[in-house]
Amino acid sequence: MATTGQEIVIVGGGLVGALNACFLAQRGFKVSLYEMRADIRTQLHVKGRSINLALSRRGREALKMVGLEDMVVENGIPMHARMIHDLDGTRRPIPYGEKHQYIMSVDRKHLNEVLLNAAEQKGIKLLFEHKLIRCDFDRGMVIFERADESQVTVSCDLIIGCDGAFSAVRNQMMKRTRLDYQQEYIPHGYVELTIHPKQNQFAMEVNYLHIWPRNEFMMIALPNQDKTYTTTLFMPFKNFESLKTKDDIIEFFQKYFPDSIPLLEEENIKETMSSTPAQPLISIKCHPYHVGTKGLIMGDAAHAMVPFYGQGMNAGFEDCIVLDELMDEYKNDFTKVLPAYTEKRHVDATAICELAMYNYIEMRSSVNSKLFLLRKKLDNFLQKLFPKSWIPLYTMVSFTRTRYHQCIERRKTQDKIIRCLSYSIIPLVVGVTVIVTKRNEIGQYISDIPLNISQLKISLDRFIHRFL
Ligand code: FAD
């Protein structure tokens, strides 16, 4: 494999950039990582997005491949179920899957630090306060601006943009190639609040992702190692804007989240909500992810999504696995790897962007519906009955590495089967009624039919498996 001497520049030392650097260094490439911010390992607080994140199977798998899974998981908190907070204060858990299936709440800063330390240990050159200004994908030249406004030009064999949703590398690619680009700001924004520990203990049940679903908006809370909860209120901007005074804010919480007030504390709610502007949420799709043989974008730079499936980082981490597998398949030949990466990853990244959008409705509204709960029960029942073939959508996305687009396809097939089953229920009920009422007359005809239930179940499982 031709890696000796090949140099890769990664732009962006966030979660995906730092992990990707570890993967590529492991393959023997000479990797340099350029980050526009100062080194977060030297900062007390880092401005920016959510304080904690839900890590699931895809992300864990990627961390495992660079030997970091245990270190990250040790510092995370398992969340086995959603804990729904109803308006009247009732709390009801909805498990994510089976007992061994859970997502982990991990601290974003800690995770980024672990990744940067690992990158450094693998001999990767880390350059902070270097902001990408321009790149030339034909010659493999990258120009960065340093904190003192001086510029530095670097040459390399491959430029990988892991520089987030507002990617400068992607902007440069758009000037060089016919890159389709689509972005959407949803009408909702978010504000983060903190629930502090009570008597040095977690203020609520710990191993849950707490949700206050209120149809048009919702609040969620994820536990942290220091026994706090990061609580996020997602709501349309127009609703945030209607809360003009501190009294408006507290009235709003009394109306929609009364049980959260003693947890968040009135003063904390008023101060945070009145001093923190709601942050926007963006979804980005683009195509292709590469230009020529020297430019590639990954992570949020290629597919930023709304955070409602907890998959943005997980998908970005899985990007690193996909690139690694293609490097294997095409023996590190960038001329083949890059187009193959776009071809393979685009369909899946688009699928998870769409699923993330759909899950917002599920989280804030569907969990309140009896039909949704019935469907969850039916899914769980069918999974127990046909464990190989009937895997619920959330389980496929969060606890397997089934390709995202296949998760959608399989869910559609499951929906069809359930529709067919429900259409057959009416004739079935009529049929059973007829049998019960006329059992004496037809009894003599059915007494000879042998019914082997376990054989029937096996045949059905095989049959469904063929189609899912
Ligand atoms: P980023 O994390 O944005 O990192 C990009 C890096 O590039 C930054 O360090 C930036 O400083 C640097 N950079 C930018 N421009 C330049 C430049 N010109 N030159 C040099 N460097 C540059 N995902 C999950 O999987 N689970 C969750 O529970 C989850 N929760 C979320 C909650 C919220 C509220 C939000 C907004 C997102 C959430 N996500 C979650 C998504 C997740 O945060 C992102 O998918 C993830 O951070 C993407 O990582 P990245 O490295 O691609 O981009």
Q: Judge if 39 and 49 occupy the same domain.
A: yes
In a domain, 94, yes or no: no
**Interstrand relation of 77-79 and 81-85 (parallel, antiparallel or unpaired):** unpaired
Cβ of 11 less than 6 Å from ligand 1: yes
Q: In terms of Cα–Cα distance, which of 251, 254, 212, 258 is closest to 235? A: 212
Q: Average pLDDT in the 143-150 region? A: 97
Give the atom of ligand 1 at the shortest distance from the alpha carbon of 53.
28
- Same domain for 287 and 254? no
Q: Please indicate, yes or no, whether residues 293 and 357 belong to a single structural domain of this protein.
A: yes
Q: 13: CA distance to ligand 1 center in Å?
A: 10
pLDDT in the model for residue 446 = 52
Ligand 1 contact, 12 CB (< 6 A) = yes
Q: Which of 305, 330, 363 is the last residue of a domain?
A: 363
**pLDDT tens figures, 166-193:** 999 999 999 999 999 999 999 999 999 9
Give pLDDT tens digits for 204-236: 999 999 999 999 999 999 999 999 999 999 999
Averaged over 440-450, what is the pLDDT? Answer: 56
Average pLDDT over residues 312-316: 98
Task: List the structure tokens of 442.
Answer: 């037809």
Q: How many domains does the chain have?
A: 3
pLDDT at residue 329 above 60?
yes
Q: Quick one: 317 and 265 in the same domain?
A: no
Q: Please give the residue range of the domain that contains residue 458.
A: 372-467
In a domain, 88, yes or no: no
Q: Is the CB of 76 under 6 A from ligand 1?
A: no
Do 261 and 221 fall into the same domain? yes
| Whether residues 133 and 215 fall in one domain | no
In a domain, 97, yes or no: no
Percent of the chain with pLDDT over 70: 91
Percent over 90 (pLDDT), the chain: 77
284: phi then psi, degrees, rounded to nearest 5 = -130, 130
Q: Is residue 91 part of a domain?
A: no
Ligand 1 centroid to residue 50 C-alpha, Å: 9
Residues 173 and 302 in one domain: yes
Considering the domain boundaries, does residue 329 fall inside one? yes
Q: Could you tell me if 296 and 167 lie in one domain?
A: yes
Boundary-marking domain end, from 246, 280, 314: 280
Give mean pLDDT, residues 283-287: 98
Q: Is the pLDDT of residue 147 over 70?
A: yes
pLDDT averaged over every residue in the chain: 91
Burial of 232 (0-12, 13-18, 19+ CB in 10 A): buried
Residue 224: the pLDDT is 96
Chosen domain end from 320, 340, 363: 363
Give 280 or 371, the one with higher predicted confidence.
280
Same domain, 20 and 127: yes
Number of neighbouring beta carbons within 10 Å of residue 250:
17
Most confident range (mean pLDDT) of 333-342, 431-440, 459-468 is 333-342
Q: Verify whether ligand 1 is closer than 6 Å to residue 154 (CB atom).
A: no
What angle (nearest 5°) sits at the alpha carbon of residue 85, between those of residues 82 and 86? 130
Q: How far is the CA of 453 from the centre of ligand 1 (A)?
A: 51
Cβ 316 vs Cβ 12: under 8 Å: no
Provide the β-strand partners of residue 209.
Answer: 82
Closest C-alpha to ligand 1, atom 12? 12
Q: In this structure, are residues 141 and 7 in contact, taking their beta carbons and an 8 Å threshold?
A: no
Q: What is the pLDDT of residues 245-265, one digit of tens each?
A: 999 999 999 999 999 999 999
Taking the centre of ligand 1 as the mean of its atom positions, its distance from the CA of residue 15, in whole angstroms, is 7
Two tokens, residue 89: 């204060």
